[in-house]
Amino acid sequence: MSYRNTGFGHRLASLRPTVAFALLLAIAVPGRLLPVAALEAGVLAIDWGIHLERAVTRAFADGEAFRATGLFDRLGYTASQVAEIAQITPRPASLTVDWAAADPAGGRFERLTVTAHRVRYYDLTIERAVFSFTGVVLDAAALAADRLMFREVGGVGLETFVSSDDILKVFDLVTRARGLSGLAMTIDGRGTRLRGRVRQGLLTVRFHLEGAPLLKNDRQIEFRCRRLVLNGLPLPQGVVRGMFSRINPVFDANQTWLNLRLQKIALEPGYVRSWGMILPASVPPAAPPPDDGR
């Protein structure tokens, strides 16, 4: 029976170009149809923004997926260091992705910036963290499948915003062990003020301190206390410096395996804001500046 003169025959004939194109793709790409291959043929345009957001969201939410990005492998860290990535996987409550591509089909991006909200870092919650990747080349085929895989990366800029409330939540973990209670913190552009009580044996002492976090060098942050008052009596600066010499630095990147270089720290109403770079493991540390003795 011939279908040539039937309506079905006309419909079948009209499908021939589509069927032929599908067969051509099946022969050219056995087993799967790659959007990248179609893009290179000028047939299918890919919305790289959607794929980037899906890929980044997946990678930032799971320790194994974050390690599978190859980010720290490309930065030259050892296998044992890379194995610890699960401890610093951002796991944000939400994120946004901003990008500019030089050659998306080749995986090259001029700019890739990820803004993550409510990031967990050990016991600390970071209100906002901005990751700025430089010199980025991604695996385009993996990206088309919503997976983030770095082929090249020069470094990672890091900007963080930590609120006074979240800093106090970290203090809550140690207050009982150190006899601290009733803590209240305020942060503005002039400095940080912390009030509370501390128990010393049978005595409870009210304290009030004022100061600001400062960069000691590109690896350490210290707290410069300008004023400390106990039960209404201000302590001499010599005594205050001696006390804080046993506390500082309050942050020391030398205690982590990341080659983290701190660039700047600033205070804003309610927040401590900082800037830094995660550099390749092979970049040597900068020589520390001379201690000013303060």
pLDDT of residue 84: 82
Q: How far is CA 63 from the centre of its chain?
A: 13
Task: At 168, list the tokens.
Answer: 């106090």
Q: For each of the chain's 294 residues, which pLDDT tens digit applies?
A: 443 444 433 433 443 333 333 322 232 333 333 344 444 444 345 788 899 999 999 999 998 899 999 999 999 999 888 888 777 788 999 999 999 888 878 899 988 999 999 998 777 899 999 999 988 999 999 999 999 999 999 889 999 999 999 988 877 766 665 677 888 999 998 899 999 988 877 888 899 999 999 999 999 999 999 999 999 999 999 999 888 888 889 889 998 888 999 999 999 999 999 999 999 998 876 655 555 544
Determine if residue 232 is left, alpha or beta; phi over 0 gives left, psi from -120 to 50 gives alpha, anything else beta.
left
Under 8 Å CB-to-CB from 115, ≥6 apart: which residues?
A: 95, 96, 97, 98, 128, 129, 130, 131
User: Would you state the pLDDT for residue 178?
Assistant: 65
Q: Give yes or no for a contact between 25 and 17, defined as CB atoms under 8 angstroms apart.
A: no
Separation of alpha carbons 89 and 65, rounded Å = 9
Angle at 217 between CA 171 and CA 125, to 5 degrees: 30
- Mapping DSSP to helix (H, G, I), strand (E, B) and coil, where does residue 102 land? strand
Q: What was the pLDDT predicted at 252?
A: 92
- How far is it, in rounded angstroms, from Cα 23 to Cα 2? 24
To which residue do tokens 């995986």 refer?
A: 107
Cα separation of 90 and 67, whole Å?
Answer: 12
Domain residue spans of the chain: 48-152, 164-273
154 in the Ramachandran plot: left (φ > 0), alpha (ψ -120 to 50) or beta? alpha
d(CA 57, CA 97): 9
Instruction: Return the pLDDT at 120.
Output: 84
Structural contact between residues 231 and 209, judged by C-beta atoms closer than 8 angstroms: no
pLDDT score, position 160: 96
> According to the model, what pLDDT value does residue 16 have?
39
